[in-house]
């Protein structure tokens, strides 16, 4: 079974993911823009039992407009978000796609929140 490791910029916070992601979601919402610093966020969803976390994580919990909180786990040393849990999707862990630093990682299976999509993004990017 394939095993991939996502890590923060400094490397102390890691999550090992076994098997392929259940889905990969590209999100154009403002919260993902602010979290990532990029024009959109991309989350790879894994079953909680398929991931193993290591290192020290801080948590930032925010409400979402679905009415369910999202709990972001980030490195207290370098600030990178590595994974998060959406209370709307119990049993699933969202891992920041960029944290894998793997050009061969599977691409998005869906794109959501197009109303705040950056206008300059090329067609095909959500």
* Number of residues binding to Zn ion, judged by CB under 5 A: 9
**Per-residue binding letters, 37-76, with Zn ion (x by CB under 5 A):** --------------------------------------x-
Stretch that binds Zn ion, among 11-19, 66-74, 84-92, 101-109 (CB under 5 A): 11-19
**Per-residue binding letters, 23-42, with Zn ion (x by CB under 5 A):** ----x-x--x----------
101 binds Zn ion (CB under 5 A): no
User: 36, 16, 34, 54: which is closest to 98 by C-alpha?
Assistant: 36
Beta-strand pair 3-7/81-86? unpaired
Tell me the C-alpha to C-alpha distance, in Å, between residue 43 and each of 17, 110, 126.
13, 10, 13
96 binds Zn ion (CB under 5 A): no
Q: How far apart are CA 44 and CA 100, in angstroms?
A: 10
Q: What is the CA radius of gyration of the chain?
A: 14
* Site residues (vs Zn ion, CB under 5 A): 8, 10, 12, 27, 29, 32, 75, 77-78
């Amino acid at each position: 079974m394939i095993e991939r490791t996502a890590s923060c910029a400094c490397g102390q916070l890691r999550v090992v993911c076994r098997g392929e992601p259940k889905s990969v979601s590209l999100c154009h919402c403002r919260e993902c823009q602010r979290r990532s610093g990029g024009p959109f966020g991309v989350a790879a969803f894994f079953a909680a039992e398929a991931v193993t976390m290591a290192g020290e994580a801080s948590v930032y919990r925010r409400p979402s407009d679905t009415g369910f909180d999202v709990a972001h786990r980030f490195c207290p040393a370098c600030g990178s978000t590595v994974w998060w849990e959406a209370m709307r999707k119990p049993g699933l862990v969202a891992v920041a796609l960029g944290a894998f630093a793997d050009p061969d990682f599977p691409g998005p299976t869906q794109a959501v929140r197009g109303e705040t999509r950056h206008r300059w993004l090329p067609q095909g990017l959500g």
